[in-house]
Amino acid sequence: METMNVVAARRSFSDVMARVAYTGQRVVVERKGRPMMALISIEDLRRLEELEREVESPRARREAALSLAAAARDRIRFERHGVPLPNSADTLDRLREERMHELTSLR
């Protein structure tokens, strides 16, 4: 990957653009020795955007699931006239203890 300062990039922009577009070369443009941006091919940009969609997709599914769960909780609370359901962790602990008791009594 090539690195060039902003003055050189500005001076040879047409050449740099052609190298990036036709060879897929990536160019980092620096200002005062600090990387400020990168020039990448359109193919690289498409791959980057696809990766972003893949990362965001599970997040969007989780947010949608949480929203559905919240709506279901609200509906259940309404149907139970404001009385919430028991804590699911407590219910699972109780069921696990009951199952363990059943299994130990079989011995």
Model pTM score:
0.52
Q: What is the pLDDT of residues 18-32, one digit of tens each?
A: 999 999 999 999 999
Do 17 and 31 share a domain, yes or no?
A: yes
- Domain range for residue 35? 2-40
Q: How far apart are the first and last CA of the chain?
A: 68
Do 97 and 59 share a domain, yes or no?
A: yes
Residue 77: predicted pLDDT:
86
The torsion angles phi and psi of 30, rounded to 5 degrees, stand at -110, 150
CATH label of the domain that carries residue 28: 3.40.1620.10
Q: What is the pLDDT of residues 5-14, one digit of tens each?
A: 999 999 999 9
Do 60 and 100 share a domain, yes or no?
A: yes
Between 24-33, 36-45, 50-59, 89-98, the lowest mean confidence (pLDDT) is in: 50-59
Do 53 and 69 share a domain, yes or no?
A: yes
Do 34 and 56 share a domain, yes or no?
A: no
- Left (φ > 0), alpha (ψ -120 to 50) or beta: where does 4 sit? beta
Measured CA angle at 46 (ends 20, 6), to 5 deg:
35
Tokens of 27: 């160019």
Residue 87 pLDDT more than 90?
no
Do 59 and 95 share a domain, yes or no?
A: yes
Do 56 and 28 share a domain, yes or no?
A: no
Number of domains in the chain: 2
Do 35 and 49 share a domain, yes or no?
A: no
